[in-house]
Amino acid sequence: MTARSQTYWTGDVAELLRVREGFVLSSIDPGSTPGYGSDKQQAAADLAAGVAELDLLQEKLFAQSRVGATDASVLLVLQGMDSSGKGGIVRHVVGSVDPQGVSLASFGAPTEEERAHDFLWRVQRKLPPAGRIGVFDRSHYEDVLIGRVRELADPDEIERRYEAINEFERQVAASGTRIIKIMLHISYAAQKARLMERLDRPEKHWKFTPSDVDERTRWPHYMAAYQTVFERTSTEHAPWYVVPANRKWYARLAIQHLLLEALENIDPQWPSAGYDVALERERLAAT
Amino acid sequence: MTARSQTYWTGDVAELLRVREGFVLSSIDPGSTPGYGSDKQQAAADLAAGVAELDLLQEKLFAQSRVGATDASVLLVLQGMDSSGKGGIVRHVVGSVDPQGVSLASFGAPTEEERAHDFLWRVQRKLPPAGRIGVFDRSHYEDVLIGRVRELADPDEIERRYEAINEFERQVAASGTRIIKIMLHISYAAQKARLMERLDRPEKHWKFTPSDVDERTRWPHYMAAYQTVFERTSTEHAPWYVVPANRKWYARLAIQHLLLEALENIDPQWPSAGYDVALERERLAAT
């Protein structure tokens, strides 16, 4: 399926980016633009066209949910190394949708209360209601990424989590939520440049913490942890997409496209009135 | 204080719209545009200019809150009759801000759990964290508006609530939250036209419920309830503004202006780095 408003795609982006059996992360070029040329200007036009379409589809879905006519929602899970552009996706892709239709949750280091529960407890509570586009800025995958790399849990527990995640996502999908899992994939060199920019520009200092450099030294371990995540948790009901993200314009366009496809696939319709329109028109006219 | 980016104001909008001692709701013309001409095109230019300024101020505030350097936030309380344009404010004014900086809560009929608590319980839990612009789409004021008009609580209880609200808001303001309370004020005739439009256009049917006509027949009772709200709860720390809202462009511009003023008044600054920038640059360069 192709989003109608984005016209410059040369290939099926969902197919090109989807993690399938045999996927190898290290074979993906973070600077590539699969299914699209390198024309940044066309991309800007496509992104702008997609905004209106996304907004309309979302409003229809929201309308249906308000009259109880659908339990469908979309959940966008955003993962990626520091500075890979998660915040930019929230701002420039999700930000174009009516805030009433968006349910955004960010997951940092767990609080004491959260640590006292199973790792899925805090994400379960933030699932999007029907009719909404939910966004997880980081997610339960941190528990098998930083959790594994920094040995925050023992190997048996990490092992248990992959299956727990699959079962959890299976239930979420069965309840009507389309799950789209994204890894924003930047290169080691691109991260260096982006972190350096945060150090060079005083208005970006707040986005940097010294631990960013510490985490960066563990880069190969994170890539290995992502590779395992893809092998263990890319499923039919909750597929992973690895989005090359060195070029921000490409990542934004590709993710907008995946959202558009998910919504087109739900195919929301304006709900019919649950009341007698002619009668209400008369009642209103009489006031 | 005047928002720098909006240049066509001819008067101090905050002062013009603010509810003061002796305020009489029935003397306000919902079709007026206090402090502004009737030039819709200038208004569009001002609104666009305000978007960038609002976004920047909000990001600065968010940045400060992330490093623990401020406990400030803004809370916009939106009240108004059906079809007065609350959703449009969320979409077109608040929607221009990075979603990560916004905390939106809508309050409908209370759930069973909510009814089992004091009426302020559910709003307390939705207060914006530091650094955010919080928006209440309807609020605790419903408990003294529909609560009074539909006699959902007895008069003694309604009476108690005004004081409880003032005390609650005093604490919220003392904790760093700038409270801006808005009544979107439309005329009885304008509401009729807007509701009729919802009946005339199938894609708007979902926004209408027959109870909208029922509530409309209680219009004078609602206006009286608002008048009492203004007399009892417009305070220094949590002032009310009555925004003429027959012209949507005016209401949006005026509310954007009030948000800009609140943020300028907080005067957020990019936080200084809590680490040694030169050292981190070296560490990063070595990777």
Hey, which bits of chain B come out as E strands? Answer: 73-80, 102-106, 133-137, 177-185, 240-244
Residues of chain A neighbouring B285 (CB-CB closer than 8 A): 196
- Tell me how far apart the alpha carbons of residues B224 and A103 are, in angstroms, rounded to a whole number: 36
Give the chain B residue nearest A192 (alpha carbons).
B284
Greatest CA separation found in chain A?
A: 73
Contact present, A140 and A120 (Cβ < 8 Å):
yes
ipTM of the complex as predicted: 0.91
Residues of chain B neighbouring A135 (CB-CB closer than 8 A): 99
Query: Is residue A208 within 8 angstroms of chain B, CB to CB?
Result: yes
Query: Is residue A137 within 8 angstroms of chain B, CB to CB?
Result: yes
Per-residue pLDDT reduced to its tens digit, A198-216: 999 999 999 999 999 999 9
- Tell me how far apart the alpha carbons of residues B36 and B39 are, in angstroms, rounded to a whole number: 8
Confidence band for B2, pLDDT divided at 50, 70 and 90: low
Contact check, Cβ <8 Å, A208/B281: no
* Element of type H or E holding A115: helix A112-115
pLDDT at residue A40, as a whole number = 86
Query: Is residue B90 within 8 angstroms of chain A, CB to CB?
Result: yes
> What DSSP character marks residue B84?
S
Contact check, Cβ <8 Å, B210/A91: no
Query: Is residue B280 within 8 angstroms of chain A, CB to CB?
Result: yes
Q: Give the residue extent of every domain in chain B.
A: 13-270
Residues of chain B neighbouring A199 (CB-CB closer than 8 A): 277, 280-281, 284
Higher pLDDT, A69 or B78: B78
Contact check, Cβ <8 Å, B213/A287: yes
Query: How far is CA B113 from each of CA B109, B116, B117, B137, B226, rounded to the nearest angstrom?
Result: 11, 5, 7, 20, 27
- Tell me how far apart the alpha carbons of residues B48 and A129 are, in angstroms, rounded to a whole number: 32
Arithmetic mean of pLDDT over chain A:
95
pLDDT at residue B251, as a whole number = 97
Chain A nearest C-alpha distance from B66 (Å):
7
Per-residue pLDDT reduced to its tens digit, B233-255: 999 999 999 999 999 999 999 99
Can you give A251-276 as a three-state secondary structure string? HHHHHHHHHHHHHHHHCCCCCCCCCC
**pLDDT over 60 at A106, yes or no:** yes
Name the residue among B22, B136, B118 with its Cα closest to residue B73. Answer: B136
pLDDT at residue B284, as a whole number = 98
Confidence band for B8, pLDDT divided at 50, 70 and 90: confident
Q: Which residues pair with B177 in a beta bridge?
A: B73
pLDDT at residue A90, as a whole number = 96
Closest by Cβ to B208, choosing from A203, A280, A285: A280
* Element of type H or E holding A243: strand A240-244
Size of interface A-B (CB pairs under 8 A): 120
Give the chain B residue nearest A269 (alpha carbons).
B203
Per-residue pLDDT reduced to its tens digit, B192-217: 999 999 999 999 999 999 999 999 99
Considering chain B, what percentage of its residues have pLDDT values greater than 90? 93
- Tell me how far apart the alpha carbons of residues B138 and B142 are, in angstroms, rounded to a whole number: 7
CATH superfamily of A13-285: P-loop containing nucleotide triphosphate hydrolases (3.40.50.300)
- Tell me how far apart the alpha carbons of residues B255 and A257 are, in angstroms, rounded to a whole number: 33
Q: What are phi and psi of B160, to 5 degrees?
A: -60, -35
Per-residue pLDDT reduced to its tens digit, A15-35: 999 999 999 999 999 999 999
Per-residue pLDDT reduced to its tens digit, B96-155: 999 999 999 999 999 999 999 999 999 999 999 999 999 999 999 999 999 999 999 999
Contact check, Cβ <8 Å, B287/A99: no
- Tell me how far apart the alpha carbons of residues B120 and B165 are, in angstroms, rounded to a whole number: 8
**pLDDT over 80 at B169, yes or no:** yes
CATH of domain B13-270: 3.40.50.300
Query: Is residue B281 within 8 angstroms of chain A, CB to CB?
Result: yes
Query: Is residue A273 within 8 angstroms of chain B, CB to CB?
Result: yes
pLDDT at residue A5, as a whole number = 73
- B interface test, pick of A104, A199, A209, A279 with most B CB neighbours within 10 Å: A199
